[in-house]
Amino acid sequence: MNLVARDLVLSFETSCDETSVAVIENGNKILSNIVATQIKSHQRFGGVVPEVASRHHIEQITGCIEDALRDADVTYDDLTSVAVTYGPGLVGALLIGVTAAKAVAWAHNLPLVPVNHLAGHIYAARLVEPIEFPAMALVVSGGHTELVYMPEEDKFEIIGETRDDAAGEAYDKIGRVLGINYPAGKPVDELAHQGKDTFKFPRAMDSDDNFDFSFSGLKSAFINTVHHADQIHEELSREDLAASFQQAVVDVLADKTQRALKEFPVKQLILAGGVAANKGLRERLTKEIASFKDTKLELVPLSLCGDNAAMIGAAGEMLYRHGARADATLNADPGLEFEWLADEAK
Amino acid sequence: MKILAIDTSNKPLSVAVMDNDQLLAQTTLTTHRKHAEFLMPVIEDLVKKADLTPTDLDRVVVADGPGSYTGIRMAVTAAKTIANTLGIELVTVSSLLNLALNVQRADVLINPIFDGRNQNMFTGLYRWNHGTIETVIEDQHISLGKWLPAISDYEQPILIIGDTASFEDDMRNVLHSRLLTANPLMGIPSAALLGQYGLAKSPVEDVDAVVPRYLRLTKAEADWKKLHPNEDTHNYVEKV
């Protein structure tokens, strides 16, 4: 007999091109994690088309709920709460998850917990090992690149972020130049491992005295190099191009992260988000962390780097304990952001 | 049978709770477009005011389009999730037909119109026949220039309702005195009439498969289809 009551979260994630519903036990155990991905559909267009994404989410949403409950072998009566991503993301896509989560919460009289998508990415780490605080997270994905400082489990403070393109966005854009369809992260990573950094692309803002990133200059340098070679009919090594691009991205991410760790000593560094699946970045951070004796590196497992509802449930359980609640008026917030550390100090 | 009826196809939001064809509670708002914020609170409020709980409901009736893409997605997402999660029936009704229900007269053809911008419309043609509403011309997304010849040969007068403002003058030039207009309040959908109509209809067999009646491909998909006329457009979403 189970003497300790289980805390079960039914969680929803529809912020971009994955419809996902999960059931998470006690905040750290995945009972089910259904992910319906639309990648094949958007590959037709070379990137995510928001209206198409919304249309796919509504096709999938209730089927995903059923599958998640069935795989977890639970019923609505077993649930403690419903958690949902309400931002950031594509507004039309977010609204499908938000509306469905509100409907389920109302129908079964369950509390509704609003979750920031990026808090979800960070809390994916919890599905492997407990997070120890203070912690730092480097969140890198198709839409986001930021360093988040967490003094306590429910405090998220941005200390640096991209000024222009997200790292994953830069991968997709240079991928296109190399003839690689979206999502380009994995193929470019693989190509990079077969080449060398021969082009020495610029490391933007690397020497600046802040924790911000910039990738649009790197992207332009890459594109100009390829176009110039095309014009003079010179063939460049795709492997070396990819390796040079990746080395520049990884250098900037790793340097800024190191500097952040020096200023904000933490017990754990979490690498999260879709680009956290990048082998080059994982290898580099694993090497760099060795010089920080009191900081442990937590690499979110590859299966949980992409968008999924399990991570939303993991964050949702924590937020629920801290009293986060939404009512039936909850709306999508496509531009949702954590607060800046500096803002709070003012 | 306890029915929840929802229409958020365009700017108005209308929700009703019925006991068979008896109206228990209804709310209709035209002041905003914030269906995402207002729809669930209105549903919550009406079910409570009708002295019911969610589990008392037997059927959801939803106006599933055409209309604003976000609007019809709000109604359909709420309706299919409520039906699925409570294990109750779901009935889908054309949003244009729901508007036509506002005109309860047999001596005219009813032409509900939603503005599709740039002189395009979402429209259809309906009539009452011995107390039953019938489709004369199927709902479609069409330019005014193509719609006019399609409706100009009927002998009966044509009554337009809905977003008629940008089309009325051009329609009168062709239909002359056969064009009738209605009290603008008839252009606002009534969830009570929707619920009543949905009471007599068969529920869908597969709630999960219900999607809005967009009647129009996205531009990206339409362009892609032109280049790939024979491609199978199903199975683009995979569970991994």
Helix (H) or strand (E) holding B134: strand B132-143
Please indicate, yes or no, whether residues B114 and B126 belong to a single structural domain of this protein. yes
B interface with A, Cβ–Cβ below 8 Å: 34, 36-41, 43-44, 54-55, 69-70, 73-74, 76-78, 80-82, 84-86, 207-209, 211-212, 214, 218, 220-221, 224, 228, 235-240
Please indicate, yes or no, whether residues B86 and B6 belong to a single structural domain of this protein. yes
Q: Which residues contact B155 (CB under 8 A, 6 or more apart)?
A: none
How do residues A170-206 score in pLDDT, each as one tens digit? 999 999 999 999 999 999 999 999 999 999 999 987 7
**Phi-psi region for residue A281, left (φ > 0), alpha (ψ -120 to 50) or beta?**
alpha
Boundary residue ending a domain (B162, B187, B212):
B187
Please indicate, yes or no, whether residues B80 and B151 belong to a single structural domain of this protein. no
Please indicate, yes or no, whether residues B134 and B69 belong to a single structural domain of this protein. no
What is the CATH classification number for the domain harbouring B120? 3.30.420.40
**What residues does CATH 3.30.420.40 cover in chain A?**
8-123+305-345, 130-299
3-state SS assignment for residue A26: coil
Bridge partners (DSSP) of residue B181 are B160
Q: What ipTM describes this predicted complex?
A: 0.97
Q: Between chains, do A52 and B220 touch, taking CB under 8 Å as contact?
A: yes
Please indicate, yes or no, whether residues B91 and B17 belong to a single structural domain of this protein. yes
Cβ contacts of A86 on chain B, cutoff 8 Å: none
Asked if pLDDT for residue A345 goes beyond 90, the answer is no
pTM (predicted TM-score): 0.96
Please indicate, yes or no, whether residues B89 and B139 belong to a single structural domain of this protein. no
Distant-in-sequence contacts of B125-131, Cβ < 8 A, 24+ apart: B125/B151, B125/B158, B126/B96, B126/B97, B126/B100, B127/B156, B128/B104
Average pLDDT over all residues of chain A: 95
> What is the model's pLDDT at position B235?
82
Question: Rounded distance, CA A225 to CA A44, Å?
Answer: 27
Helix (H) or strand (E) holding B124: strand B120-129
Assigned superfamily of A8-123+305-345: ATPase, nucleotide binding domain (3.30.420.40)
Please indicate, yes or no, whether residues B24 and B58 belong to a single structural domain of this protein. yes
Question: Rounded distance, CA A177 to CA A181, Å?
Answer: 9
Give me the domain span that covers residue B7.
Answer: 2-95+188-239
CA distances to A171, B158, B195, B212 from B135, rounded to whole Å, are 52, 14, 19, 19
Cβ contacts of A49 on chain B, cutoff 8 Å: 218, 220-221
> What is the model's pLDDT at position A343?
53
Question: Rounded distance, CA A46 to CA A182, Å?
Answer: 6
> What is the model's pLDDT at position B234?
73
Please indicate, yes or no, whether residues B17 and B77 belong to a single structural domain of this protein. yes
What one-character DSSP code corresponds to residue B71?
Answer: H
Please indicate, yes or no, whether residues B181 and B222 belong to a single structural domain of this protein. no
Asked if pLDDT for residue A344 goes beyond 80, the answer is no
Indicate if the alpha-carbon torsion angle A115, A119, A121, A127 is positive or negative: negative
Tell me whether the omega of the peptide bond preceding residue A88 falls within 30 degrees of 0, making it cis: yes
Please indicate, yes or no, whether residues B55 and B42 belong to a single structural domain of this protein. yes
Q: Between chains, do B237 and A36 touch, taking CB under 8 Å as contact?
A: yes
Please indicate, yes or no, whether residues B75 and B13 belong to a single structural domain of this protein. yes
How do residues A220-237 score in pLDDT, each as one tens digit? 999 999 999 999 999 999
- The 10 Å Cβ neighbour count of residue A186 is 16
Per-residue pLDDT averaged across A28-41, rounded?
97
CATH of domain A130-299: 3.30.420.40
> What is the model's pLDDT at position B11?
95
> What is the model's pLDDT at position B240?
85
> What is the model's pLDDT at position A3?
58
Question: Rounded distance, CA B93 to CA B60, Å?
Answer: 11
How do residues B130-162 score in pLDDT, each as one tens digit? 999 999 999 999 999 999 999 999 999 999 999
Cβ contacts of A77 on chain B, cutoff 8 Å: none
Both tokens of residue B53?
């709980």
CA distances to A62, A165, A183, A184, A223 from A171, rounded to whole Å, are 33, 10, 8, 6, 12
Q: Between chains, do A95 and B77 touch, taking CB under 8 Å as contact?
A: yes
How do residues A282-328 score in pLDDT, each as one tens digit? 999 999 999 999 999 999 999 999 999 999 999 999 999 999 999 99
Per-residue pLDDT averaged across A53-77, rounded?
98
3-state SS assignment for residue A128: coil
Average pLDDT over all residues of chain B: 96
Domain count, chain B: 2
How do residues B30-77 score in pLDDT, each as one tens digit? 998 899 999 999 999 999 999 999 999 999 999 999 999 999 999 999
How do residues B184-223 score in pLDDT, each as one tens digit? 999 999 999 999 999 999 999 999 999 999 999 999 999 9
Please indicate, yes or no, whether residues B13 and B81 belong to a single structural domain of this protein. yes
CA distances to A29, A135, A154, A174, A270 from A311, rounded to whole Å, are 10, 17, 15, 29, 13
The amino acid occupying position B184 is P
